[in-house]
Structure 1
Amino acid sequence: MVRELRPFIVTSWHGHRDNADLPEAVREVWKGKFSARPDPRMVHGRFSNVDLVILGPDGDVVHFFDAFPPRRSGRESLADETIRHLRYALSWFDDPGTSGKRPLELPDVDRGRGIRVFVSLKDDRMKAYQAPVVEAVALDEPDWDALAYPDTPREVEAGPLFKWLSQVYPPGVMERTNPATKKVYEVAGITGDLTLEPAGAGSTLRHAILRGDLTFTDEGGDGFAYKGTLEVVLTYPPDRDGVTSLRGVFAGIYPREDRNGRTRQVPLEAVFESRPE
């Protein structure tokens, strides 16, 4: 499946038919999907709420289909059906661009310094969530001040670290969303007791460790929260207190509610690295 997607730039849109700002491609697809006589690509009027649309270089709809159609016995697998549709769409392009392998390029800060964050929800029922989502967060020099070298152990508030810690949330559009706008709730607050303490020195660098427990809340305003433990190793030059590099991990539990109202405690993990090296 990954090989079949290489010629494409993959993006997504999440919303509702009542949205006033529907993208033109979505509007075109849904016009066929929800009409009195639905497009046959929507499986005779029965469909899921996930569509896959292939656009040309000019943004026009080339092909679309139901990404999770109702299953019928004897039909091809979901993966094979998706591949068939993708290959059909590629046949409409003059140069499908399937030859060669594109190098993997992770998101990175485009100015100054920052922190790259890898987030993964270890849900054994939805394997796609286990693939890490990568975000690069640019930081200004004052954003590093809270992590200045500690001569003795000291407490650090989570607030000054919000820019990069706020990226730690499940990588899925099926999580908590605003019922009116259908947009995913963002992290609204992070609290916890963090301690930054010296951790020895070498010939060229000094080290410190930041660790503690954190609680995350979102914009939902209903008391929902998830928790975990942060551990970060920082390095400093021997003659200055500013951070040279940062490496860290977060291990937490995210309470995920299914459609039947049952809550499962799903591991939520994150990895942090300062950029550039």
Structure 2
Amino acid sequence: MTIGGVADTDGAQMFAHYAYAPNRLGYCGPSDTSQLVGATRADIERAAKQFTGAWPYLKVLSRMTCIPDPLDHRIVESYWLGGGIGAGLDPHAFTAELLGVIGPQAGHYWTHLSADLTDEAAPNHGFHVFGVYPWTRLLGKGMDEHPLAVLDNCRITWGTVLSSDDVTAVVECRRLSWNGAALSLADESTFRTDVGEEAPTGTPVTTGDLVALHWGRVCGRLTTEQIHALEASTYQQLQSTNRRLGKHS
């Protein structure tokens, strides 16, 4: 990630910035958000271990890539954005490893967590949002607005800042769309988003910045290479998810 023109190779800080928004809303992680933003590396690691969604991916990526630190920036970047060191992992082996960790935690309410997920599995956050979480399975049941909103907010979105006042920013991006049969990305539109404590440090977010969004908040700047990785992993996930949705329509 590029912040203020300097390459940021601190995986712990990147994890904290991207994980802060859902943690702030109480969806995952520790109850004390101070363990993330402005925290020490040790505090962030303790907090990261309480993210029952993200942490298993980081651990599995660590084991399968032989990178001992789950908060190594290569692992964290690959998890949040797709591509990178996780892109070449065998989906069958990855699915088996992941289900071995999250399966016992999930309980009988998550019966879809089986080897069948291999067809759409990827070692990144996009797969967790669209494949592991149950929200895509609620589409097409007559109440699509809520699951669609959760899916769109939970995935990592890329966008371009059109203006900013350091508290909010107007960002142009592509929102998630559902036509009753398949998911896609709509044409570019603008919306106002928060620029909070987890926003990039250094120079303020400004017009023209390429940014990542999570739960309606700016969580980091992106390089063009990172956007390409995120875009590719997003489209790949939508294609595999739509194949599954089509089989059950």
Structures share a fold, TM > 0.5?
no
Q: TM-score, normalised by structure 2?
A: 0.28
* Larger RCO, structure (CA 8 Å, separation 6 or more): 2
Q: TM-score, normalised by structure 1?
A: 0.26
- The structure in which a higher percent of residues are helix is 2
- The structure in which a higher percent of residues are strand is 1
Q: Which structure has the larger Rg?
A: 1
